[in-house]
Structure 1
Amino acid sequence: MPYNTRQRQAVLHCLEERPEEALSACEIAETLRQDQCPVGLATVYRQLERLEKTGRVHRIDTGEGALYQFCVHGGARACFLLRCEHCGRMVHLDCSHLEELCRHLAADHRFRMDPRRTILTGLCSACDGEEVPYGTA
């Protein structure tokens, strides 16, 4: 197995072990270092880019940089991300109703949405019952 493939597998495995977390490339590199599998930061970014292209990983752009999360659907279908604005939890959603929304936006509003880069925000079921003032997460 080529060295590059081992590195890609190490990066993917790091994200697979934490499917509800979105991690920065630095966090991934540090986790791999702690697991006795040191991979340079530039290599981590390269592998993340390749994994994103195959649909195995979501790239989540934030105001401070990018975060990466394992895609539980394996890239077979386009899925949406749901982000809890209170606890920050990210959940992958594969729902045909959202596919209908994409078709509607394209047909009626001439807007093509990229579901893999779309994040819907709200409250997860764990945070829904808590007293959280809207917009304070």
Structure 2
Amino acid sequence: MSYSTKQQQAVLQCLEQCSEEPISAAALAEQLRLSGNPVGLATVYRQLEKLEQAGQIHKIRTEDGAFYQICPHRAVQGRECFLLRCERCGHVVHLDCGHLHALYEHLEAEHHFRIDPRRTILTGLCQACAGKEDAHGTQ
């Protein structure tokens, strides 16, 4: 990112502090306010959009709205991570896996369909939720 404002840095720092789980723009604005950095919601959305375009964060669209999370692979130029989201607990994993890259390349070469990894979310069950399901005998 070539140019960064104070507000953008505040948003990015807040996202880094809340990096374990995705956060909504409204919750992020509230966190900023509580930490002494009041930033209007429209400004938060604007900064989130810029950070997403720069590859610094992921926008995760769900049935409950959009959530944002810092991308742990953002420092590596040219690398795109894939998102795995548990449909039960909502946990999101950023995965850098060569096997998925091969799948995306196959889809483009053989099926003439180009996937945008930054906007693709694979859903299923995380290990913890799948284990609970298996323990209760439900599928």
TM-score between both structures, scaled by the size of structure 2:
0.87
67-76 or 93-102, which moves further after superposition?
A: 67-76
Deviation at 1:127, TM superposition (A): 2.1
Residue pair 1:85, 1:123 contacting (<8 A) in 2 also: yes
**Equivalent residue number for residue 81 of structure 1:** 83
Deviation at 1:17, TM superposition (A): 1.4
Counterpart check, 1:14 vs 2:9: no
Picking from 122, 129, 132, the partner of 2:131 is 129
Counterpart check, 1:58 vs 2:49: no
1-structure distance, mates of 2:96, 2:115: 15
Percent identity (aligned): 61
Counterpart check, 1:109 vs 2:106: no
Count how many residue pairs are aligned between Structure 1 and Structure 2: 131
Amino acid at match of 2:127: S
2-structure distance, mates of 1:110, 1:102: 10
Counterpart check, 1:26 vs 2:26: yes
2-structure distance, mates of 1:125, 1:51: 30
Unaligned runs of 5+ in 1: none
Counterpart check, 1:43 vs 2:23: no
Deviation at 1:83, TM superposition (A): 0.6
Root-mean-square deviation (CA, aligned residues, Å) is: 1.6
- Which secondary structure does the structure 2 equivalent of 1:129 belong to? helix
Unaligned runs of 5+ in 2: none
2-structure distance, mates of 1:24, 1:82: 18
